[in-house]
Amino acid sequence: MITHELLSAPGVRHGFFTREGGVSEGLFASLNCGFGSGDDAARVAENRARAAARLMVAPDRLVTCYQIHSAEAVAVETPWRREGAPRADGMVTTMPGLALAVLAADCAPVLLADPKAGVIGACHAGWRGALTGVVESTVDEMKSRGARLERIVAVVGPSIGKLSYEVGPEFPAPFLAADPADADLFKPATRPEHFLFDLAAYVLRRLRRVGIAAAAATGGDTAAEEQRFFSYRRACLRGERDYGRLISAVALVP
């Protein structure tokens, strides 16, 4: 489990979990926390229970959304059943003992907190969600519950690295249309008219543009570090049929 000093504040627990320490096997070895994978559901449940235990919350207090690569963020007041999870990519709560968790396998997990206000947030920022505003939606939900920009801290967890994320010639256009200053996040790849995109830096930039000065990234390349992380991109390049999901979560201490 990876932690960061920005989120190591009184009243807050958090963790960006690696693939280590679970019970799954094969492609999913070992801490696969995604019910949407083809892994055995009982093993996924056990893996999620282990993550919850590290955060010192009950398994049923670890909540995830049905992630859709959107800019949607929701408030969480009570846990929901998996079948009733809202379709969204950001969550916010003021409820102690409730862990907000996001799943990823190359996308950027983002954990946020205003410890003084007792407000936490989490969002799943793939390129599409980041571009369309999932960071801003999550921060807006936090502000509506008493968080203040000058107090919010945010950390971007492990994601596909800038040397691993090759994108096609059409990819930069929507980003540069939104802000030409982001051109520096695209570097030429070895293939003509292809680029290497720095997703973590882009998400971090979105956090800072919205007014969060205390923002940082853990580092870690999910595609390149096979022993530590699951990766959708790596699975696709190898022609593998499926892949595990990493979990990242933040909770308020009761």
Q: Which residues contact 221 (CB under 8 A, 6 or more apart)?
A: 158, 159, 160, 161, 163, 164, 229
CA distance 99 to 32: 17
- In the block, tokens 């954990």 appear at 111
How much is the pLDDT for 57?
A: 97
- pLDDT confidence of residue 65: 98
Decide if 193 is inside a domain.
no
User: What does the pLDDT read at residue 72?
Assistant: 98
Q: Considering the domain boundaries, does residue 155 fall inside one?
A: yes
* Residue pLDDT, tens place only, 236-246: 999 999 999 99
Q: How far apart are CA 169 and CA 246, in angstroms?
A: 29
CA-based torsion, 127, 131, 136, 137: positive or negative: negative
Is residue 185 domain-resident?
Answer: no
CATH number, residue 57: 3.60.140.10
Q: Is residue 132 part of a domain?
A: yes
**Which domain range does residue 134 map to?**
5-159+212-252
Q: For residues 7-33, give the mean pLDDT.
A: 97
pLDDT in tens, 40-67: 999 999 999 999 999 999 999 999 999 9
Instruction: Evaluate whether residue 28 is within a structural domain.
Output: yes
**Mean pLDDT, residues 203-214:** 98
Residue 224 within any structural domain of the chain = yes
How is residue 119 written in tokens? 């407000």
Q: What is the mean pLDDT of the chain?
A: 98
Structure confidence by residue, pLDDT tens digits, 112-158: 999 999 999 999 999 999 999 999 999 999 999 999 999 999 999 99
Q: Is residue 244 part of a domain?
A: yes
Give the mean model confidence (pLDDT) for residues 217-226. Answer: 98
- What per-residue confidence (pLDDT) applies to 254? 82
pLDDT tens digits, one per residue of 83-117: 999 999 999 999 999 999 999 999 999 999 999 99
Could you please report the per-residue DSSP string of 53-107? Answer: HHTTS-GGGEE--B--SSS-EEE-SS---GGG--B-SEEEE--TT-EEEEEESSS
Each residue's pLDDT tens digit, 71-80? 999 999 999 9
**How many domains are there within the chain?**
1
Residue 165 lies in a domain: no
